[in-house]
Amino acid sequence: MTLATEFHEPVRLAFIGGTGLYHLETLTPVAKLTISTPWGFPSSPITISKTKDGFPIAFLARHGPHHDLLPSDVPNRANIAALKKLGVNTIVAFSAVGSLQQHIKPRDFAVPNQVIDRTKGIRPSTFFERGFVAHAMFGEPFDPLLNKVISESCQEVLEGEGVKLHTKETEKDDLTLICMEGPAFSTRAESKLYRSWGGSLINMSCIPESKLAREAEIAYQMICMSTDYDAWNESEEPVTVETVVGNLSANSANAHRIAEKLVQVLEPKIKSGEIGLNYQHSMKFSVSTKKDGQDKRLLEKMHYLFPGYWPLQ
């Protein structure tokens, strides 16, 4: 089937696929969009599918359709800006992660509620710049409403498959994801340090993706698929890509099942406004730069994300 290259209806829900998840099997694309943003092109064309009720869903492959982008080279600003331009207010992002806790086994799933940023400052991590300064709140890096819906609805999908889902509720404490720079995995000493900080999971992709989604006022939650015990567990060989990919291909069917379930559950909640609006207008009053100090060229760029905010004169 030839796919449309334009799509003019607003799209509210998007999935971002990570390692091992380059499309969603349960969705049939109707359009494939190449979108240029003021921050460049996204990692991949964005495909649009529709539910039987005509609710559109976007999908983006974080590392490109052929996985040729390093975690540090993912064009996160373009990815989030392009989704925002389509009208997206809810993002569910998948990620392959290492486990920093014995009880989170390879092939388990987890819905983290906290993040520790261990990237090295080499990734562009904000839409704002000199001449237009704003600060997003990020104390809760994931949308708690979306976190709750995902945690509740994925439990039953995975139970049927004999796979454990870890959430803030099952852990009875924060479920903290460490985001490191990569591309090499951690040393054993680093891995043990992250455990001492209370880390539960580790990946290379949550930052700045989640931060930019917050700046763009989009409700965002990452779903983690555990693939290995990183390097802390001395009774196991430290993680290799082979282990990650082996466990991922065994588990990608569960990711597709989860996506299918989430589409069913999120469609009515997004339509009713129960999900997706938690951060609406949150940036409007978060700007620090006084009118006279604002760079007008930058304001025009900002209007790509926030049309109607901060009038030019």
Taking residues 273 to 312 in sequence order and writing x for each that binds ligand ADE by CB under 6 A, - otherwise, the string is ----------------------------------------
Give rounded-to-5 percent helix, strand, coil for the chain: 30, 20, 50
Binder to ligand ADE among 136, 244, 258, 275 (CB under 6 A)?
Answer: 244
195 annotated to bind ligand:
no
For residue 100, state whether it binds ligand ADE (rule: CB under 6 A).
Answer: no
For residue 56, state whether it binds ligand ADE (rule: CB under 6 A).
Answer: no
Q: Is the peptide bond before 208 cis (omega within 30 degrees of 0)?
A: yes
Residues shown for the chain: 313
For residue 43, state whether it binds ligand LNRAV4D5 (rule: CB under 6 A).
Answer: no
What, of ligand ADE, ligand LNRAV4D5, none, does residue 62 touch, CB below 5 to 8 Å by kind?
ligand LNRAV4D5
Active site residues: 228, 230
Is residue 19 a contact partner of residue 94, using CB atoms and an 8 Å limit? no
Angle between helices 241-272 and 144-159 (to 10 degrees): 120
Is residue 23 a contact partner of residue 59, using CB atoms and an 8 Å limit? yes
For residue 241, state whether it binds ligand LNRAV4D5 (rule: CB under 6 A).
Answer: yes
Residues 6+ apart with CB under 8 A from 110: 97, 104, 165, 166, 167, 175, 200, 201, 223, 224, 226
What gap in Å lies between CA 174 and CA 196, rounded to an integer?
A: 14
Q: Considering only residues 147 through 176, tell me which ones interact with ligand ADE, judged by CB under 6 A.
A: none
205 annotated to bind ligand:
yes
Q: Which two tokens stand for residue 236?
A: 């196991």
Facing residues of 17 across strands?
61
For residue 202, state whether it binds ligand ADE (rule: CB under 6 A).
Answer: yes
Min dist CB 276 to ligand LNRAV4D5, Å, is 23
Angle ∠(14,15,16) on CA atoms, nearest 5: 120
In the complex with ligand ADE, the residue whose CB is nearer, 109 or 185, is 185
For residue 228, state whether it binds ligand ADE (rule: CB under 6 A).
Answer: yes
Min dist CB 63 to ligand LNRAV4D5, Å, is 6
**Which of 146, 163, 148 is CA-nearest to residue 279?**
146
Q: Considering only residues 202 through 221, tell me which ones interact with ligand LNRAV4D5, judged by CB under 6 A.
A: 203-205
Residues interacting with ligand ADE, by CB under 6 A? 96-98, 180, 185, 202-204, 227-228, 230, 239, 244
- Binding positions are 19, 62-63, 95-96, 204-205, 228-230
Residues interacting with ligand LNRAV4D5, by CB under 6 A? 18-19, 62-63, 71, 95-96, 182, 203-205, 241, 244
